[in-house]
Structure 1
Amino acid sequence: MDVALGQTSPSRNASGRLAIEARGLVKRFDGTLAVDGVDLTVQVGAIYGILGPNGAGKTTTLRMMLGIIDPDEGVRRVLGHDRPSEIARLIGYLPEERGLYPSMKAYEAIAFMGALRGMPLKEGRERGRKLLEEYGLPVERQIRQMSKGMAQQVQLLGTLVHDPQLVVLDEPFSGLDAINQGKLERLIRGLADKGTTVIFSTHVIAHAERLCDEVAIIAGGKVPYAGSVDAARDRIPAQVRLETASKDGPWRAALPPGSKAEGNFWNFALPESGIEPLLRALIEGEAGILSLSIERAGLHDAFVAIAGEAAARALAEEKPLEARR
Structure 2
Amino acid sequence: MLRKFLFFMVVFATTGTGFSHENHPVSKVIERIKSRGVSYPFRFAFIGDSRKSFRPGDPDADSIFMIHLRVLEELNPVFVIHGGDFCMRGYRSEYEHFLSMIDSFDVNLLPVVGNHELYAPEGPYMFRKIFQSEICPPGGFWNHLKAFFLNPFNVSKGVRRFSDPCDYYFDYGGYRFIFLVDNHQSPKKNPKGGYYVNYYLSEKQIKWLEQKLKEADSLGLFKVVVAHVPPYIPGHNTKHCLGASYYYPKPNYEKSHTKEFTDLLTKYHVSLGLFSHQHLYDRYVYNGVTYIVSGGAGAPLKRPLQGPPRGGSFYHIVLFEADSTGYIKGHIYKLGETEPDTTFDFVVPPPVGTK
TM range (shorter): 0.3 to 0.5
Bigger fraction of residues in helix: 1
Query: Highest Rg: 1 or 2?
Result: 1
TM-score w.r.t. the length of structure 1 is 0.33
TM-score w.r.t. the length of structure 2 is 0.31
Q: State the structure with bigger RCO (CA 8 A, min sep 6), 1 or 2.
A: 1
Bigger fraction of residues in strand: 1
